Amino acid sequence: MRLILASQSLARRALLEGAGVEFEAMSASVDEATIKESAKAEGVSAADTAILLADAKAARIARRHPDATVIGADQLLVCEGEWFDKPVDLTAARAHLHRLRNRAHELMTAVVVWRGGQRSWHHMATPRLVMRDFSEAFLDEYLAREGAHVTSSVGAYRLEGMGVQLMRDIRGEHSAILGLPLLPLLAYLRDTGVLHG
């Protein structure tokens, strides 16, 4: 069965590729800012908003490819009630990291699957991470070494890179932190015959 990942995220693609899953990746352009603003105005939780975003991405691709199983995923970072978006540049990334320093945050990581023209499954993971009280010198070095990579993540870090040195404590499935709760997704794909085994 044809499997499509409704994302161009390199981390999500690497997770599926590393698990030996055959799939296509397609970009799903949705107006994330409008979805988030509407959800906030209506009092929708961050977790439910992440599901809305993942669903919108999967639905967009599924409507164009109704024969396929389509995976959509999204992630929101929440720290002390504040929602974070991906930083637009290194200056914004520095501001993100100052706000997250020495604090706990959660990653609302949603995955949604569409089959046969409708949503057939979804899952929410909420990894919890605590940043250490890193020095300004370390932050300077970190941003210089990571460069534009920091703008690809809501937290301005990649755990598969130097970003792991920002952390004091990490709880939750590693793949969920990277943006795709892989174990529950693989179980669903096996249970529905998309994957063998």
Predicted TM-score (pTM) of this structure: 0.92
Verify whether residue 74 is a known catalytic residue.
Answer: yes
Q: State the 10-residue block means of pLDDT for the chain, 197 residues long.
A: 92 95 94 93 96 97 95 96 94 97 98 95 98 97 95 91 95 95 97 91
| pLDDT for position 117 | 87
Catalytic residue among 74, 85, 140, 191: 74
| pLDDT for position 183 | 97
Given the DSSP bridges, would you call strands 69-79 and 3-5 parallel, antiparallel or unpaired? parallel
Q: What is the CA radius of gyration of the chain?
A: 17
| pLDDT for position 160 | 86
Phi, psi angles (nearest 5°) of residue 156 = 65, 35
Instruction: Report the CATH number of the 3-191 domain.
Output: 3.90.950.10
DSSP state of 22: -
